[in-house]
Amino acid sequence: MINRLSRIVVKGGVLSLGELKTICDAAGDLGLKAISFGSRQDILFPQEVPSEKLNKIENLQISKPEDSGMDNIVSSYVSADIFPSTSWLSGEKYLYVLEQFRKPPNLKINITDPKQRLVPMFTGHLNFIASKHEDYWYLYVRLPEWEKTEMYPALIYSWDMAKISLAIENMQQEEPDSVEMIFILLNDALETNNRTVDKPLNVPFTPFPYYEGMNRTGNDKYWLGLYWRNNLYDLRFLKELCDLCAECKIGKISITPWKSIIVKEIPAEAKLYWEKFLGKFGINVRHSMLELNWHLPVANEEALKLKKYLVHNFDQNDISTYGLTFATTDYVKKAYYFTSIVIEKNKSPQDLIGFQIRDTYNLLYAKNFDPNTQEYIAHVQDVDQVELPGLLMELSRLYFEQLGNEKVELKSVKPEKELIETKVFQCKDCLTLYDEEYGDITQDIKPDTAFEDLPETYCCSLCDAPKSNFETKNYGKKIN
C-alpha cells in the first residue's frame, strides 16, 4: 500500500535551526508528536493531515498528497567535509549553488559528488554530478517518460544549473525525446558558460559508509549521525537539539536519504554535553550496519516487520552486510532504486481477492552490487518470506566473492523448478511461516523438525504469538 503523506520541501536536505523549529511548531499545532524523513531528504508528516489544516500553515513549502508538480532537490551537502569528496566541492559551495534555485522544481533534481556514497546520484530527472574541473558538473538526464538516463554533451557551469533546470522544465510541453534535442533547444534559448566534456564520468565503487554516532573530523571537531529505526523523530527532542546546536554556534542540520539526520561542526570541548543530551533522551547511536543500510517505505509497519525479521536472521548467523544496502517495496512498479539489493513484494492475484494467500517476493541486485550502474538483475522470483534470509545470505556471500573483480558475472534468474505440494504452518496474526524443512534458526530449531515436535513454549519469530496460533497451510513449492 502506498502511503499518501504530506511532505515539506527541504532544499538540498539542508535545514537552518529556525526552519526546523518552525516545522516542529507547525507539526505540533497539527496535533502531531513526531515528524519523519523521506528518501529525497524531505520531511513528512507521519500521518494524514486534513488539507484545511495544512492551508493554515504559512512560510513552509508543503506538497499535499493530491498535489503534483513540486519536488525536492537532493544534494550531497550532508556528506561534505565528513566523507570522501571532490577537492573543490565544499559545504559552502553547495549552499551557493542551492541558493540559485528560487522555488521548488517540478522535476526531481540531484546535485551530488561522485566520490561519496551516502546520497544517490542517478535517482533524479536531472542529475548534476561534480567533475574534476572546479564549478563544472556532468548532467545526466532521465525525464519522466524516458526509459534510460542519457549524458548531456557538455559540462554545466555552477551558476547556470538553476536556469538550465528551469528551461528544461519549461520545454516539457515540446516532449523532447533525446538529450541531443534538449541540447539544441537550450542553446537556442539560453546563453551558458558550458565546457567540453574531456573525460567520461568515473564513479569509483566504495563501500556504503557508517553514518551514525559521534565521529571525529580533524583535531577539534565532531559530527553526529542520528537514526531512529521507526523514523518517528520526537518534536521535543528536535527542538532541544536545535537549542544545543545554537549554543555550539552550529547553524545547519542535514537530512540523509536514509531517513536520518547529521549534525556537523560539533566542537571537541562540547562532546560531553552532546553525550549527556543523547543520554537524557535515551538515544541509541550504536546501531550496527545490519540496521542502518536499509531503505524502507515511510510509515509502513509491514516493511518494518520484514526488515526486523531479516536483520534478526543476519545477526543470528553472523552475516556481514558491510558495503551492501537493501530496499523493500510492497508493490512491483517501474522504479529507480538506489540500493545494492531490492526485495519486491508481489501483488496478490486479482482473482483471489478475499482469500488469505501467502505473500511472495522477488530479489534483485544491482550489477556488481553497485547501484550507480542503474542496472538491476533478477536473482529469484516468487519466493516465500521464510526463504528470504537464506537467499539474502547467499547474495551477501556472492558480493564479497566478486568484490574488486568486476568481470565476475553472477547467475541471474534461477532455472525453472518442479512444483510440488507441501505443508507449512502459518501464524494467524502476522502470516509468518514455519517450514519443517528449514526449521527456525532464530530459535535454534534445527531443519527437518516436525511442527508437533516443537516445544509448547515455541512462539512466532516475528510477532511472538504462541504455538497454538499457527494453522496448517498447503502451498506449491518449487524443487530441482
> What per-residue confidence (pLDDT) applies to 48?
77
- Classify burial at 131, counting beta carbons within 10 Å of its beta carbon; exposed 0-12, middle 13-18, buried 19 or more: buried
> DSSP assignment of 44-55, as one string?
E-SS---HHHHT
**Neighbour count for residue 421 (Cβ, 10 Å):** 8
Is the distance from CB of 38 to CB of 233 less than 8 angstroms?
Answer: no
* 443-462 residue pLDDT tens: 878 888 888 888 888 888 77
Contacts of residues 30-36 at CB distance under 8 Å and 24 or more positions apart, as own/partner, are 30/54, 30/57, 32/235, 33/234, 33/235, 34/232, 34/233, 34/234, 34/235, 35/232, 35/233, 35/235, 35/238, 36/5, 36/231, 36/232, 36/233, 36/259, 36/298, 36/299
> What per-residue confidence (pLDDT) applies to 149?
92
What are the boundaries of each domain within the chain?
A: 1-121+203-287, 288-304+318-410, 415-480
- Grid coordinates of 444: 535454534
Confidence of residue 412 (pLDDT cuts 50, 70, 90): very low
- Domain 415-480 class in CATH: mainly beta
| CATH no. for 1-121+203-287 | 3.90.480.10
Is there a common fold for 1-121+203-287 and 415-480? no
Is the distance from CB of 149 to CB of 374 less than 8 angstroms?
Answer: yes
Is the distance from CB of 161 to CB of 111 less than 8 angstroms?
Answer: yes
- Classify burial at 478, counting beta carbons within 10 Å of its beta carbon; exposed 0-12, middle 13-18, buried 19 or more: middle
| Coil, helix or strand at residue 34 | strand
Mean pLDDT to the nearest integer, 117-128: 94
Question: What is the rounded distance in angstroms from the CA atom of residue 17 to the CA atom of residue 251?
Answer: 6
- Grid coordinates of 48: 494524514
> Would the pLDDT of 420 be above 60?
no
Question: What is the rounded distance in angstroms from the CA atom of residue 470 to the CA atom of residue 424?
Answer: 10
**Neighbour count for residue 389 (Cβ, 10 Å):** 21
Q: What is the mean pLDDT of the chain?
A: 86
Share of the chain above pLDDT 70, in %: 89
Mean pLDDT to the nearest integer, 22-50: 89
* 50-106 residue pLDDT tens: 777 777 677 778 877 656 667 889 999 999 999 999 999 999 999 999 999 988 899
* 153-163 residue pLDDT tens: 999 999 999 99
- pLDDT greater at residue 74 or residue 336: 74
Q: What is the CA radius of gyration of the chain?
A: 24
* Residues contacting 246, CB < 8 A, separation 6+: 17
- pLDDT greater at residue 61 or residue 431: 61
> What per-residue confidence (pLDDT) applies to 233?
95
What is the model's pTM?
A: 0.80
One-letter amino acid at 316 equals Q
> Would the pLDDT of 410 be above 80?
no
Closest alpha carbon to 220 in 248, 262, 244, 245: 248
> What per-residue confidence (pLDDT) applies to 66?
58
Question: What is the rounded distance in angstroms from the CA atom of residue 426 to the CA atom of residue 470?
Answer: 5
Is the distance from CB of 46 to CB of 35 less than 8 angstroms?
Answer: yes
> Would the pLDDT of 32 be above 70?
yes
- pLDDT greater at residue 47 or residue 130: 130
Confidence of residue 421 (pLDDT cuts 50, 70, 90): low
> What per-residue confidence (pLDDT) applies to 419?
44
* 215-261 residue pLDDT tens: 998 788 999 999 998 899 999 999 999 999 999 999 999 999 999 99
